[in-house]
Structure 1
Amino acid sequence: MPLYIYNTLTRAKEAFEPAIPGHVGIYVCGPTVYADPHLGHARGPIVYDVLRRWLHYQGYRVRFVSNITDVGHLTDDADQGEDKIQRRAKLERLEPMEVAEKYMWRYFDEMQALNVLRPDISPRAAGHIPEQIELTETLIRRGHAYVANGSVYFRVRSWPGFGKLSNRDIEEQEAGARVEVREEKEDPRDFALWKRADPEHLMRWNSPWGVGFPGWHIECTAMSLKYLGDGFDIHAGGVDLQFPHHEAEIAQAEAAGHAFARYWMHHYHVLLNGQKMAKSTGNLVSLAELRARHEPMYVRFYLLNSHYRSVLDFTDEGLEAARNGYLRLLNAYREVRRYLPQAPSGSHPGLEQALQTLYRDFSAALDDDLNTPQAIAALFNFVTELNKALAERPGRDSLAKAEKAFAELGEGVLGLFPPRVLESQLGGALLEGLVGLLLELREEARAARNFALSDRIRDRLAELGVVVEDTRQGPKWRVEV
């Protein structure tokens, strides 16, 4: 079964076919780095990280590009207001590029904690001013842009395709719906490609039209075309970027004579108290705050438990449920790795069948528009059958395949079991030996009916994060993250 993606451009699920067989180019709109990242900023990177991993697993070579916006994103998300980074620089009494560096690395640190693979290329808007100027000059030359008072605007009426991504009729778009219309524009719907810098504006470059800075939309068009080329495969980002940002990206590229992205993916918001998380409103839960209280893999698992095209309302109860579910999978993986070295040779028919079902259902889920909740459900179903098999002491051949399935699908594709977490759970030979010795002493105490000592050993281990469970096959233990 091929991978099907819901393409926002056609409003339908489509079989994915890369422009170049065996190669996939992906561009994801990255963060504007002027404040600490919050939970809402994690959903897109995690979703498209799984997409990237799934394509790798299927044998594709992937070039994954995700930009850093460090100039041009104004406070009104349009053509007026103050640059968000410059405003933060004034508040913190820093240079704008100091602000960008500070919050860019904080963003990367949080993504690393969530086991998100680094992009192959992370282009910064301020580092691609020549490309943006060149693209703007092309649009002027082709009659799709004009200079006004040192700024350059895209002439929306000159491009009939404007609105096709968001399904908006150009004639029905309201002028100045979000900000006061600038008198220098020919048409209130026109948007800035280059902005004249006022004397107090700190971020400024020379251009053919005077000193200024790029518009927000032109940045992503220039950088995506530079690194992925005409007609690249997938462009992704938050649903709030669909209009005007992504709509403007398409118009700029196509009006300049370039084929643009063929598939468009948009993830929906993470809500808090029923409202979108946003730095501008303060209605958010920071990733640093979550990491201080929770293992980051709980957060990754929580976000993957809902489909990327559905709105997710964050709750502490939901995160706790995700923690419990994650630990069930992690401990099953740990049990396989612990028992494998001592397992007898041979296979287990029930476990072999469960593995076939897992690979089939997992693949069908991700091929259906990256349905991560169904992929996780396939893992849970497998763990149910795995636990039955473990009670029967399965053979080494089947257990090795189970370990491989956890490594390939659980970590390789879903990114849930990085070595940092897995190794802390397994603990190495020292932890295995010490816990084993304590459990032997506990069993001796139980046999001698010294239940006070038995309970003390169990309770003390629990305080240290080692949970002991008595079963018919003997005591089992696991480490809570």
Structure 2
Amino acid sequence: MQPPFKIYNTLTRKKEVFKPINPPLVGMYVCGPTVYNYVHLGNVRTFTGFDILYRYLLHLGYKVRYVRNITDVGHLVDDADDGEDKIGKKAKLDNLEPMEVVQKYTNDFHDVMNILNNKAPSIEPSATGHMIEQIKMIEDLLEKGFAYETNGSVYFDVRKYSESHEYGKLSGRNIDELLSGQRELDGQDEKRENIDFALWKKATKGHIMRWPSPWSDGFPGWHLECSVMGQKYLGKTFDIHGGGMDLKFPHHECEVAQGTACNDVEPVNYWMHANMLTVNGQKMSKSLNNSILPNELFSGNNPLLDQAYSPMTLRFAFMQAHYRSTMDISNEALKAASKGYRKMINGLRLVKGLSYSEDSAIEKDAKLNKQILSIIDSVYRGMNDDLNTAVAIAGLFNLLKKINGIHLGQIKIPALEKEVFDKMVNTYISFVEDVLGFIEEKPQNLESAIEIVLQDYKEAKEAKDYDKVDLIRGQLKVMGISVKDMKDRIEWAYDEQ
């Protein structure tokens, strides 16, 4: 019997059996991009990780309402409560309307998600599309005494909240240390405490992104949008909230405070966070000049890269590290991922060509059947252990050994129980395509072209023109194709060397 699905809950700091609030419906919210620049590989890793979670929940039979927002206002340059809005600043620099900036980088984000075969969310709301709801939540927080207005801006009162709730419990921050470690306010600051955070900011002169409110013409704070949209589409308490590790504090911590203060209930049951990327062992950053954009990786147009790497190679590389672990991007890791991906897809091609047959002369192999079922269980054990994709993939490769054995005639299909054969085939196909989200990458008309070349190869071999045989084999290898000389036929496969 397979173990239950467990996920690591950042709030409780332990793995917990996943129990949705209203099964079979699962409410899942993931913080989407701030669309003022091109999406970077760290973002891509996070969204791909939650795409796998989405896919696996569907595979387990849940109906998932997956909400992933677009931040198109309120995220300030210094990630605090001062400075320019990131989108407004980009609009000024490029002499564009802010929504032109939003549309440009939203399109780029969607393009990258599509290239990586990440599923679209059920709902993709934007901050600017929910001004009425954000203003209403601020009014509720003011009425409950957890917020205060100063000079047209509204702030969340962290000290007041901490009298009855635990601010800092998600990120492990200590409220007393936060209060004692803050700088002295100089009288010019609008906040009562430096750790208070903005719910609404009055727009300064020249601030181009502004909306009317009961307090001023201004804009909402960055943390507010996710609380509002999560509540609107998933309820006051929903199942899963995810994002990158960098969002745990202050963004998600503030979401916990806002939701709890407004509704007197915890807003989320399971908090999940994906870890960071490094490049050749160093933190990825512009200052170190080691940033790699997705399109640079796909084209090879970056001095840190030896070659271009395909989208599915990147997807496979992501799955070789646990989503909660730091992952290093290097040419060595990407080349290994390319080989692993092609090996997996070769298996997919093989397994789709298998069909069951009975033969009374061949006895059922009980040991073999038991081995295959055990391998299938190992795939699920990996996924059920907090989405350990590396363990699941290792199980799939063990399953592939059996599939290759069948293909090479070392294992006779009639030796398998039909139920076991069907489970083997369905597990491999469903995990590769539906759960892990891989697609076969091939040029247009590849198979037809290769068949023509293989016919030429066959004729050269029959004529004992071994120079031509070696030439064709070598040229195909350069293209990433290997020739397989079988007993009764000639086949091709993606080269795994």
Normalising to structure 2: TM-score of the pair?
0.88
Report the CA distance shift for 1:32/1:83 in structure 2 as closer, same or farther (over 3 A).
same
Paired residue for 1:467, among 469, 482, 487? 482
CA distance in 1 between counterparts of 2:109 and 2:263 reads 35
Report the CA distance shift for 1:153/1:206 in structure 2 as closer, same or farther (over 3 A).
same
Report the CA distance shift for 1:181/1:424 in structure 2 as closer, same or farther (over 3 A).
farther
Does 1:308 find its partner at 2:330? no
Root mean square deviation, CA, Å:
2.6
Q: 2:345 corresponds to which letter in structure 1?
A: L
Partner of residue 410, structure 1: 432
Partner of residue 395, structure 1: 413
Partner of residue 269, structure 1: 276
Report the CA distance shift for 1:306/1:463 in structure 2 as closer, same or farther (over 3 A).
closer
Report the CA distance shift for 1:402/1:477 in structure 2 as closer, same or farther (over 3 A).
farther
How far is the alpha carbon of 1:362 from its aligned partner?
0.9
- Gaps spanning 5+ residues in structure 1: where? none
Report the CA distance shift for 1:132/1:39 in structure 2 as closer, same or farther (over 3 A).
same
- What SS does structure 1 have at the residue aligned with 2:83? coil
CA distance in 2 between counterparts of 1:425 and 1:351 reads 39
Question: Taking every aligned residue pair, what percent have the same amino acid on both sides?
Answer: 44
Q: 1:369 corresponds to which letter in structure 2?
A: D
CA distance in 2 between counterparts of 1:426 and 1:410 reads 23
Does 1:478 find its partner at 2:480? no
Report the CA distance shift for 1:282/1:145 in structure 2 as closer, same or farther (over 3 A).
farther
Asked if the contact 1:329/1:380 (under 8 Å) is kept, the reply is yes
CA distance in 2 between counterparts of 1:36 and 1:345 reads 55
How far is the alpha carbon of 1:37 from its aligned partner?
1.1
Partner of residue 298, structure 1: 313
Report the CA distance shift for 1:112/1:35 in structure 2 as closer, same or farther (over 3 A).
same
Paired residue for 2:393, among 367, 376, 385? 376
Q: 1:115 corresponds to which letter in structure 2?
A: N
- Gaps spanning 5+ residues in structure 2: where? 300-307
Asked if the contact 1:27/1:64 (under 8 Å) is kept, the reply is yes
Partner of residue 317, structure 1: 332
CA distance in 2 between counterparts of 1:195 and 1:355 reads 61
How far is the alpha carbon of 1:358 from its aligned partner?
3.1
How far is the alpha carbon of 1:290 from its aligned partner?
1.4
Task: Deviation per CA, 1:422-475: give whole Å up to 9, x if none.
Answer: x759955x3564254234214313xx3x21122123233334443214466764
CA distance in 2 between counterparts of 1:241 and 1:23 reads 26
- What SS does structure 1 have at the residue aligned with 2:192? coil
Task: Deviation per CA, 1:168-199: give whole Å up to 9, x if none.
Answer: 1111115557x999611111110000001011
Asked if the contact 1:49/1:116 (under 8 Å) is kept, the reply is yes
CA distance in 2 between counterparts of 1:400 and 1:256 reads 51
- What SS does structure 2 have at the residue aligned with 1:24? strand
Paired residue for 1:438, among 452, 456, 466? 456
Task: Deviation per CA, 1:71-97: give whole Å up to 9, x if none.
Answer: 100111110121111111112111111
CA distance in 2 between counterparts of 1:412 and 1:17 reads 22
Task: Deviation per CA, 1:208-254: give whole Å up to 9, x if none.
Answer: 00100010000110010000002100011111111110000010111
Paired residue for 1:40, among 39, 42, 60? 42
Partner of residue 213, structure 1: 219
Normalising to structure 1: TM-score of the pair?
0.91
Asked if the contact 2:7/2:386 (under 8 Å) is kept, the reply is yes
CA distance in 1 between counterparts of 2:336 and 2:32 reads 29
Partner of residue 237, structure 1: 243
Alignment: residue pair count: 471
The range that moved more, 396-405 or 46-55, is: 396-405
Report the CA distance shift for 1:180/1:451 in structure 2 as closer, same or farther (over 3 A).
farther
Does 1:223 find its partner at 2:223? no
